[in-house]
Structure 1
């Protein structure tokens, strides 16, 4: 039971901490509303499920067998996150929001799936909380569903809260899109550096 509570605490901290998914939800929520942000949120959840499937199967084996394969995967994923930042900066020059140009269900999936930290989260953290190797698949599914559920709840709550104050933030869309772009680029660069 302590192990389960520890895992839930880690999931809560992970979902609430800033990352590419959280930044996309915040940006989309400011530029639009909760209803138009839900596809991004569901995309992020779908991406988490796919990342879990990949990390707990063949990808984990590849990563553990080849340091170079892991490094290349990290660079590619980090490049995508940095690309999203450049896209945000490009659209920040006008009042047009980057969220209107690209944060969709598909982007939510890609943000989760191509975030190197997501794959590392599943590959490194899950084994610590799987107590019975005979039931690895069942335990991995339960842990994935818990993480996805917590992430969905946190993102909906954040989007809903932002929805309430977005009328104030609307006057600062260019600055918000620039900040979003810089944050995505910083996250992308961190994948190349770390």
Structure 2
């Protein structure tokens, strides 16, 4: 039971902490509304499901068998996150913002699937909460569903709250898009450093 509560606390902290998924949800919510942000939120959840499937099968075996493979995977994921930041900066001054350009379901899946934090979560932290190797598949499914549900709830709550104050935030859209771009780039760079 303590292990389960600890896992739920880690899921809450992970979903609520700033990361590429959270930034995409915030940016899309400011630029649009909750209804138009739901596709990226469901994309993030789908990406988490796919990351869990990959991490609990062959990807985890490949990454754990080679430090170099883990490093290359982390760099590729970090490069994608930095690319999203550069794209956000590029479109910050334009009428058509990055969020209007494509933070949709596909972007949500890729953001979640290629997020180094997700890779670390499933590859390093996730196995600590598997209680019994005999029930590995059952435990992995339950833990994944808990993570996805918590992430969905947190992102919907954040998007809903931003939706309520977006009329105030829209006056500062260029600055917010620039900050979002810089934060994405910083997250991407951190994957190369750490």
Gaps of 5+ in 2: none
Deviation at 1:67, TM superposition (A): 0.8
The secondary structure found in structure 2 opposite 1:53 is: helix
How does the TM-score come out when normalised to structure 2?
Answer: 0.98
The secondary structure found in structure 1 opposite 2:94 is: coil
Alignment RMSD (CA, Å): 0.7
How does the TM-score come out when normalised to structure 1?
Answer: 0.98
The secondary structure found in structure 2 opposite 1:128 is: helix
- 1:29-178 equivalent positions in 2, closer than 5 A: 29-178=29-178
C-alpha distance in 1 between matches for 2:73 and 2:127: 21
The secondary structure found in structure 1 opposite 2:153 is: helix
8 A Cα contact 1:95 1:174, kept in partner: no
Deviation at 1:94, TM superposition (A): 2.1
Deviation at 1:127, TM superposition (A): 1.5
C-alpha distance in 2 between matches for 1:78 and 1:93: 25
Deviation at 1:95, TM superposition (A): 3.5
Deviation at 1:85, TM superposition (A): 0.2
Deviation at 1:60, TM superposition (A): 0.7
> For this pair of structures, how many residues does the alignment match?
194
Gaps of 5+ in 1: none
C-alpha distance in 1 between matches for 2:98 and 2:16: 22
